[in-house]
Structure 1
Amino acid sequence: MNTVNILGVPFSKRTFSETVALVQAQIAAEDKPLFHLITANPEIVMAAREDQQLQTIVKEAGIITPDGIGIVLAAKWQGEPIQERVTGYDLLIRLLEEAKQHRFSLYIVGSDEETNAKAAQIIADQYDGVTIVGRHNGFFKPGQEEALVADIAQKRPDVLIVALGAPNAERWIFKYKSRLSAKVAFGVGGSLDVIAGKVKRAPVIWQKLNVEWLYRLLKQPSRWRRQLVLPRFAVTILTSRRR
């Protein structure tokens, strides 16, 4: 099978390169429904256990990739190993880098106006083959959503990226996916902040040691409450495994 079930969430076993190829194939395809890609971490897995709507969202997703070393370790403990993490940021950057050969149009939603505009400009300047057909910051009011959805539908982007935070981005895409007229949509977390230079990503050595989460925690101590989900996730996995 191409997936491993971790506490009810079906994670893809595809490698990073295989996932990139799958997304590019979806971009190249015509007349298909929106392909909702979710990069999920332990936080989303634990939230889905208590949220019926989120359970539906992950079950109906086109693919769920392992964004977090906790997911990779859980799959290993279950005897169904996943080869590597596939994060939203890395996936987005690879798609941008390969846009010379696999051209696509992009619509950007999320983050504050300054960050959104700067990230869009950097992408337009640095990545040939990417056409930015629209953008909007993430601080829209409920009454503005209809106009935003209509604009995305009219622009018909190949790829829609949404930086509203997880799982808010996933909920937003799911809510409007039948109307967005995009080929691929996925949440990108804080990727726009990194691209715009507002936030620095963990050094490569931290990434290779799979402690990027610790780097972010040291840089943003206010994240400690969110990190409490990690021991809960580990205990739940181990308990489930023993059963």
Structure 2
Amino acid sequence: MKNMEKKSLKSSRKDGQILKVDLDSTSKAGVLAFVRDSIARKAKFSIVTPNPEIVLMAQKDRNLAQSLEAANLAIPDGIGLSQAARFLSLAAPRNILLRIPVCFVQGLGVGLATFVARDWLLDCLPVIKGRELFMELVKLANKKGWRVFFLGGESGEAKDAGEKLRRSLKSARIAYAPGPMLDDEARPKTQEDKNAEIYCIRQINEFKPHLLFVALKAPRQEKWLMKWLGTLDIGGGMVVGGTFKYISGQSKLPPHWMENLGLEWLWRLITEPWRLKRVLTAFPIFPLKVFLYKLNTP
């Protein structure tokens, strides 16, 4: 079923595989068409948005890797994935003595292309930022008069984002809930959290949203959505990470020039220094892993 549904995107989709994680890339219009068609056919779907950090997590987390594979669409989120796809697409000699310097020069070239030939990277694997796709889907819901449900977030993010969007998108019906605290296997941490999980599932099923947006942090959100997808009375679900923070204004968006140069990781380090570990995962750990993968995969 998953492969059949993906065929509707074939004309506008580029596929890629980064560190054995399959990715689907299409235009925003292609995703919106897929969502409209799926809801019209009452074909439940799931969308995940892997970034370099999540791809790295999947190397050691089999359940996460399976959750990404099970999703109908895995939309790459982050220029780092385009860089990796282009780098891996470049031919390199099999001789290891030649392979190392050639791959090193190729890596430098790909890094430079981020600043001077960005389209060359995106042509190999187009990316869509998860928060931008979220907004496009919410606008679609407003146009269609759909019901949408925001689940998760911290410090009232889902509520703040929901209330803010209600003021501007008056035709969409928006509901929200904080959700349970989960461990990294998407299991409730305490009995209280288990009760909260049961309650939020009941809320979702009573509301019957066309779209469910889950912000429980990776890898929990991906595992949680796949675990409960069959039980939830929804049109489809998408994981959104920290999107509610940006929508509610709790996190600041990077300037466009930093986004265009692939420097969002630097912006996060400046504005949220406590996320140093996550920033280092995006750069330089992820590029190094991709480099080593290519060296060992002639």
Instruction: Give me the TM-score of the superposition, normalised by structure 2.
Output: 0.74
Counterparts of 2:83 and 2:253, CA distance in 1: 22
Q: Displacement, 1:109? A: 0.7
1:136 pairs with 2:177: yes
The answer for unaligned runs of 5 or more in structure 2 is 1-9, 91-122, 182-192
Mapping of residues 144-159 of structure 1, within 5 Å: 144-159=196-211
The structure number with the bigger radius of gyration is 2
Structure 2 partner of 1:63: 73
Structure 1 partner of 2:49: 39
Q: Displacement, 1:159? A: 0.4
Residue 97 to residue 42, structure 1, CA distance change in 2 (3 Å): same
Structure 1 partner of 2:98: none
Counterparts of 2:57 and 2:173, CA distance in 1: 35
Structure 2 partner of 1:189: 241
Q: Which moved more, 1:157-166 or 1:233-242?
A: 233-242
Counterparts of 2:22 and 2:220, CA distance in 1: 19
Equivalent of 1:107 in 137, 149, 159: 149
1:215 pairs with 2:267: yes
Structure 1 partner of 2:292: 239
Q: Classify the secondary structure of the residue corresponding to 1:78.
A: helix
Structure 1 partner of 2:228: 176
Counterparts of 1:93 and 1:82, CA distance in 2: 25
Counterparts of 1:208 and 1:129, CA distance in 2: 33
The answer for unaligned runs of 5 or more in structure 1 is none
Q: Which moved more, 1:224-233 or 1:173-182?
A: 224-233
Deviations 1:205-229 (A, max 9, x none): 2222221121111101111111222
Q: Displacement, 1:66? A: 0.9
Q: Displacement, 1:24? A: 2.8
AA aligned opposite 2:291: L
Counterparts of 2:207 and 2:140, CA distance in 1: 22
Equivalent of 1:165 in 181, 194, 217: 217
Structure 2 partner of 1:127: 169
Residue 167 to residue 131, structure 1, CA distance change in 2 (3 Å): same
Residue 113 to residue 218, structure 1, CA distance change in 2 (3 Å): closer
Instruction: Give me the TM-score of the superposition, normalised by structure 1.
Output: 0.90
**8 A contact 2:269–2:275 mirrored in 1:** yes
Structure 2 partner of 1:4: 16
Counterparts of 1:227 and 1:146, CA distance in 2: 34
1:14 pairs with 2:14: no
Structure 2 partner of 1:76: 86
Counterparts of 1:115 and 1:8, CA distance in 2: 33
Q: Which moved more, 1:226-235 or 1:150-159?
A: 226-235
| Matched residue count | 240
Q: Which moved more, 1:62-71 or 1:83-92?
A: 83-92
Query: % of aligned pairs identical?
Result: 27
Q: Displacement, 1:83? A: 4.6
Q: Classify the secondary structure of the residue corresponding to 2:75.
A: strand
Which structure has more helix as a fraction of its residues? 2
Counterparts of 1:150 and 1:137, CA distance in 2: 13
Residue 27 to residue 129, structure 1, CA distance change in 2 (3 Å): farther
**8 A contact 2:141–2:147 mirrored in 1:** no
1:199 pairs with 2:251: yes
Q: Classify the secondary structure of the residue corresponding to 1:58.
A: helix
Q: Classify the secondary structure of the residue corresponding to 1:66.
A: coil
Counterparts of 1:75 and 1:129, CA distance in 2: 40
Equivalent of 2:136 in 94, 107, 120: 94
Deviations 1:117-170 (A, max 9, x none): 2211111110133111x3111455122211211221222211000111122211
Cα RMSD of the aligned pairs, angstroms, is: 2.0
Q: Displacement, 1:36? A: 1.3
